[in-house]
């Protein structure tokens, strides 16, 4: 057994800093730069607990963005009852996040480190590229919203601004956004837990201000079930399925002895509870004022005096949720094969996101771009998740950790570092998703043949998972269990 594997078998230790007091050589202390990237985390450097994972996801999803999503689906013409149904069904997808957090404790590596087991070190570059683009897209979304919030503050006070001020706001937002992802996992987890408490109080105040003014009797809109499915895909994409590629990036600091149900439910409920509550409140806010589809318009649903308290709290919320994506995009860049330290990858991604943010800000079609982005990313995300989770169950949670490190010739190397079974299943799943997608109002505009045949229904996220996962199971149901039985050094958790 290698020195790394021996470390993985040791008992977790806690230092003087409580939950995050790791040994000095681990670099796992809040407000210090985390030195671990995609490489395996030894057992003695994993001080996290399921409660910490719960509050990390709660801190990310107690967020003004979720209010916007709730209002945004109402703008599709849904009745309030239809919106409630879409929110409740859509947020069941956080169970997928819970499942996508189980591999981190078992392996000690990130989502796209684990993904190497199914796709191979080189085959994994394709979904890693898709994920990197997706994560950077979410980062751009968050930075754009920050800039729009500050612009709204300036306009509220009658302060004029031009292109120069906009450029300065973008630079300032990017600089602030950089800090927490640069410091790393321990800082993110600690700060988000603290912010959660403030966000919960603010939610209670918003609910008190909005609910008495919701007049459902005067609201007479209703949409077709086809439109309802489009709203559903937006919530699934922005919700549980949209976070699956981040799950193991944060659960990997849990000890391998952590019971799997605790890991799954900590991630699932930590994210789902705030998401449901905030999206319901966002839908109610839309009934009060259609301006609620924009962060800067949300105060119109509350009270005039609430403008400044709301937007001042919205800023740290937006930075918080964006931090999750920026951290994950950094370790995904490493999985893609870019030879750079984790903190260096954060610098690269920050610069890329900042540059594209400038294009989005000056182009001026953000909310249309956002809806299209959320619709299209499920095309790859659903099949990738399905392949990874089917692979996990086929091998019964057992991984060869040295093979996950990506070494040439390891158990996952297969045909030149590519598992064509997994790559083929991903591509077939993506093709199936494109057959049942309705993106007619986005750029590029496209409607799949199955969507056209069903009046514009969109089940791209579901059919992509079913076809991609089913194809992988058919071609790997014997090979993967045999591979795990012969080569694994890890124990089955449970």
For tokens 């007091």, what's the residue? 21
What is the SS3 assignment for 332? helix
Distance CA 42, CA 405 (A): 13
For tokens 């709730």, what's the residue? 70
Distance CA 97, CA 238 (A): 12
Model confidence over 165-217: pLDDT tens digits?
A: 999 999 999 999 999 999 999 999 999 998 888 889 989 999 999 999 999 98
Domains in the chain: boundaries: 3-487
pLDDT of residue 141: 85
User: Can you list the residues of the chain whose pLDDT is less than 70?
Assistant: 1-28, 364-368, 370-371, 406, 443, 487-494
Distance CA 23, CA 44 (A): 8
For tokens 């009270």, what's the residue? 303
DSSP-assigned beta bridge partners for residue 438: 447
Cα→Cα distances 415→401, 404, 421, Å: 19, 16, 11
List Cβ neighbours of 201 (8 Å cut-off, separation of 6 or more).
none
Cα→Cα distances 64→250, 282, 419, Å: 22, 9, 41
Token readout for 1 is 């057994």
Q: Rounded to two decimals, what is the model's pTM? A: 0.88
List Cβ neighbours of 245 (8 Å cut-off, separation of 6 or more).
100, 111, 112, 131, 134, 135, 328, 332, 381, 384, 385
CB 150 within 8 A of CB 166: no
Query: Would you give the end-to-end CA distance of the chain in angstroms?
Result: 23
Q: Yes or no: is domain 3-487 CATH 1.10.4160.10?
A: yes
pLDDT of residue 359: 83
Distance CA 382, CA 301 (A): 35
> How many CB atoms are located within 10 Å of the residue 81 CB?
10
pLDDT of residue 49: 95
CB 51 within 8 A of CB 357: no
pLDDT of residue 494: 35
pLDDT of residue 235: 95
């Amino acid at each position: 057994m290698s020195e790394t594997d021996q470390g993985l078998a040791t008992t977790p230790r806690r230092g003087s800093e409580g939950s995050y007091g790791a040994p000095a050589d681990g670099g796992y202390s809040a407000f210090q730069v985390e030195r671990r990237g995609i490489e395996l985390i030894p057992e003695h450097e994993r001080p996290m607990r399921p409660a910490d994972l719960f509050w990390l996801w709660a801190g990310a999803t107690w967020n003004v963005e979720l209010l916007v999503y709730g209002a945004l689906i109402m703008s599709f013409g849904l009745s309030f009852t239809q919106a409630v149904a879409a929110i409740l069904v859509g947020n069941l997808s956080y169970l997928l996040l819970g499942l996508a957090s189980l591999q981190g404790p078992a392996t000690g590596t990130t989502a796209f480190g684990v993904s190497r087991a199914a796709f191979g070190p080189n085959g994994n570059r394709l979904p890693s590229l898709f994920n990197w683009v997706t994560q950077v897209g979410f980062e751009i979304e968050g930075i754009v919203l920050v800039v729009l919030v500050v612009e709204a503050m300036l306009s509220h006070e009658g302060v004029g601004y031009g292109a120069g001020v906009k450029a300065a706001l973008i630079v300032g937002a990017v600089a602030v956004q950089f800090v927490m992802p640069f410091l790393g996992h321990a800082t993110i987890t600690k700060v988000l837990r603290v912010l959660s408490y403030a966000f919960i109080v603010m939610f209670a105040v918003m609910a008190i201000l909005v609910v008495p003014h919701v007049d459902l009797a005067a609201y007479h809109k209703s949409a077709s079930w086809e439109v309802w499915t489009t709203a559903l895909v937006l919530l699934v994409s922005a919700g549980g399925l949209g976070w699956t590629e981040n799950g193991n990036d944060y659960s990997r600091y849990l000890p391998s002895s952590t019971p799997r149900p605790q890991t799954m439910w900590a991630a699932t409920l930590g994210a789902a509870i705030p998401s449901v509550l905030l999206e319901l409140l966002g839908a109610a806010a839309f009934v009060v004022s259609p301006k609620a589809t924009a962060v800067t318009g949300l105060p119109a649903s509350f009270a005039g005096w609430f403008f400044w308290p709301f937007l001042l709290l919205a800023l740290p919320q937006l930075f918080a949720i964006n931090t999750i994506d920026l951290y994950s995009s950094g370790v995904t860049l490493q999985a893609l094969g870019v030879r750079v330290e984790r903190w260096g990858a954060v610098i690269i991604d920050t610069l890329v996101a900042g540059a594209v943010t400038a294009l989005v800000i000056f182009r001026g079609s953000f909310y249309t771009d956002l809806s299209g982005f959320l619709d299209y990313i499920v095309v790859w995300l659903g099949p990738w998740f399905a392949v990874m989770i089917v692979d996990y169950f086929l091998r019964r949670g057992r991984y060869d950790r040295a093979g996950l490190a990506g070494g040439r010739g390891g158990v996952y190397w297969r045909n030149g570092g590519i598992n064509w079974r997994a790559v083929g299943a991903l591509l077939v799943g993506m093709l199936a998703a494109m057959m049942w997608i309705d993106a007619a109002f986005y750029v590029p505009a496209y409607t799949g043949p199955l969507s056209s045949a069903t009046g514009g229904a969109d089940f791209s996220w579901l059919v992509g998972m079913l076809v991609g996962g089913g194809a992988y199971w058919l071609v790997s149901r014997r090979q993967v269990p045999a591979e795990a039985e012969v080569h694994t050094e890890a124990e089955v958790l449970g």
